[in-house]
Amino acid sequence: MTKEDKVLVIQEIKDLLQDAKVVYVADLEGLNAAKSSDFRRQAFKNNISVKVVKNTLLQKAMESMEVDFSEMFQTFKGNSALMVAETANAPAKLIKDFRKKDATPALKSAYVQETVYVGDENLETLANIKSKEEMLGEIIGLLQSPIQRLVSALQNKAEGADAAEETPADEAPAAETAAAPEAAEGTDAPAAE
């Protein structure tokens, strides 16, 4: 690879990392061409950019960024695939799901929410991080629950008040009807005299 090619690759990596909030480095060693293509296809479906890179070029690109990726450098050995995503747990879930069929890929390191995770043992932790959409859904659910209970209570109270208003109104004519025969009996008696 010529020096110009290396400069271009470093620039491509920097462009990928420019606004990245989620960066994973995985080891794809052991994946044949078909499995590697399948991994990339699944990554594409999940909006994850995957680029197999040389470790030295990846390190040079990361060193020139404003974000401190230095803790990740120790994992740059062997094959490295750079994975960039918008959702914090998407790459970890992809690796975890892919592992159900095969022993690879392995997580080398990750930069998620301004924290560096080093080692494959962090895969489960990263897969369980909730995405922004999941957290918003939970918050909305928590906020809606008391509101729904309040609306239900108000509706029940309103229905109870309507029923209470209707019941005396129904009983009142019955009371008047009962009083009317007594009055009629009272008028019949004087008329009979």
What is the per-residue DSSP string for 38-59?
Answer: HHHHHHHHTTEEEEEE-HHHHH
Last residue of one domain, picked from the residues 129, 161, 177: 129
Q: Are 114 and 79 part of one and the same domain?
A: yes
Report the percentage of the chain scoring pLDDT > 90.
Answer: 34
- Say what percent of the chain tops pLDDT 70: 82
For 8, 19, 23, 96, 101, the CA distances from 14, given in Å and listed in that order, are: 10, 9, 12, 27, 32
Domain, as residue range, for 14: 3-129
Residue 106 and residue 68 share a domain: yes
Residue 117 predicted with pLDDT over 80: yes
CA angle 153, 158, 164 (to 5 degrees): 125
- Please give the tally of structural domains in the chain: 2
Do 97 and 165 share a structural domain?
Answer: no
| Mean pLDDT within 99-111 | 86
Tokens of 146: 């008391």
CA distance 19 to 51: 16
